[in-house]
Chain A
């Protein structure tokens, strides 16, 4: 079963705008990871945030984690056409050692 649910399912923005994607999950976690998937580079890891962390940054990416609400958000600032892809959150539930992917958000960035 899929633990994470991303919101929105699809998002269209112009280059230069910010894109925010949300992920909600059901059970306690060890960590939460965000992945990007496009036809050119396949599925690529973006950021891993542990359950005791609240925020992480990587370049134009900012991830927050609220374990009390069982939710996370991914912010992409100053988006580019090359950011067009599907974005997945994936969780490692607290009692397992496996990664469970959500349903994904399809992001379209128009030049």
Chain B
């Protein structure tokens, strides 16, 4: 089966600019996740969708980050305006069920550099 697709793979922007990332999960996977991974650390969950509803967004900085999952398939994550500390790899993952039961499949990630 095709894996989780993400684009772009790399993005360089100036601080205070906006950026958007796109994710297409594995077909049939109900749950979609966005993680932020800062260099040298483990991934940190930003937001979790079940179909097109938000399950958890407790660690999403809502003053600058937003995410949506239209029609329960593709998802976009936006940062507006970006800060230097947002430099990280943004990983999208999907699973058939919720995290409590199923393994997650990760995309290749988008490496964001904020100058």
Contacts and interface: CB of A to CB of B under 8 A. Distances in A.
Interface in A16-55: 30-31, 33, 42-45, 48
Interface of B: 33, 35, 41-45, 48, 55-56, 91, 93, 98-101, 103-109
Given A88-B42, A97-B99, A97-B100, A45 B105 contact: yes
A105 B42 CA distance: 10
Given A42-B108, A42-B109, A97-B55, A2 B42 contact: yes
Interface of A: 2, 4, 30-31, 33, 42-45, 48, 88, 90, 92, 96-104
Nearest to A3: B42
A42 B107 contact: yes
Nearest to B42: A101
Contacts of B98: 97
Contacts of B106: 42-44
B114 to A, nearest CB: 22
A63 B55 CA distance: 29
